[in-house]
Amino acid sequence: VEAAELTAAAVVRDAAAAIEAAETPPTLEALAARAGYSPFHVLRLFKAQTGLTPRGYADAVRARRLADAVAEGAGVAEAAFAAGYGSLRGAYAAAGGITPGRARRGGAGETITAAFAECPFGPLLVGATARGVCFLGFAGPREALLADLRRRYPNATIIADDAALADHVAAVLAFIERPRGGLALPLDLQGTAFQKRVWDALRRIPPGETRSYSEIAAALGRPAAVRAVAAACARNPVALAVPCHRVVGKDGGLHGYRWGLPRKRALLAAEAGAGD
């Protein structure tokens, strides 16, 4: 059974990588040919481990590309067609109804204070406006983390001030050390209405527990919006504070954590452990 599970995980990882790398989503038949299985079997494996069909996963990837391009300053129409949408209507629907003006503001008029620290997973970057933490990233080179913050808020003024965010950074480090204690930070979450509903749902998942994409969609009263939930998870700007690491595949498998599956596994193991 263990060998079969490893084979299934490898098939799904390969299919997901193929979808991520392709400009045009590969067909189910093409993914099946790569795996050496029937299309039905690949579909079943993919859905069991991710909670999504390959098509749904591809839609989430495309929605993420659209959001990233708009955040970087591209026009909505340009970004939509570059991401593979055939119409602006489809792009707006995938983005949760985000409007062109709202998408392009990109932090205009905002001042974001940023602070770096070292954590067990590597460099940690916290960014905050006057209203609360708007960015939390880790486990990457400092330059890459800062570039991610600037990509999300291209029009904001970003200033470095470790002392100003010392309490926030200390809270994050304490959470990583003892995650069952939870992480309570003032947050300034900037996203679409649907994204915010998803992020709120993630914050309600207790430490030591997990939910699938489909369970979150059902809890929001949108059971058919599984791929939109996945896209919102991918756009989470505050790792750990909005615990997208607690979202797993329908079968409980670990998938799609941008900070790396080993770190997701470590966080979940620590949260499930005895103690606090």
Return the active site residues.
244
DSSP per-residue codes, the chain:
-HHHHHHHHHHHHHHHHHHHH-SSPPPHHHHHHHHTS-HHHHHHHHHHHHSS-HHHHHHHHHHHHHHHHHHTT--HHHHHHHTT-SSHHHHHHHTTS--HHHHHHTTTT-EEEEEEEEETTEEEEEEE-SSSEEEEEESS-HHHHHHHHHHHSTTSEEEE-TTTTHHHHHHHHHHHHSGGG-----B---S-HHHHHHHHHHHTSPTT--EEHHHHHHHTT-TT-HHHHHHHHHT-SBTTTS-GGGEE-TTS-----TT-HHHHHHHHHHHHSS--
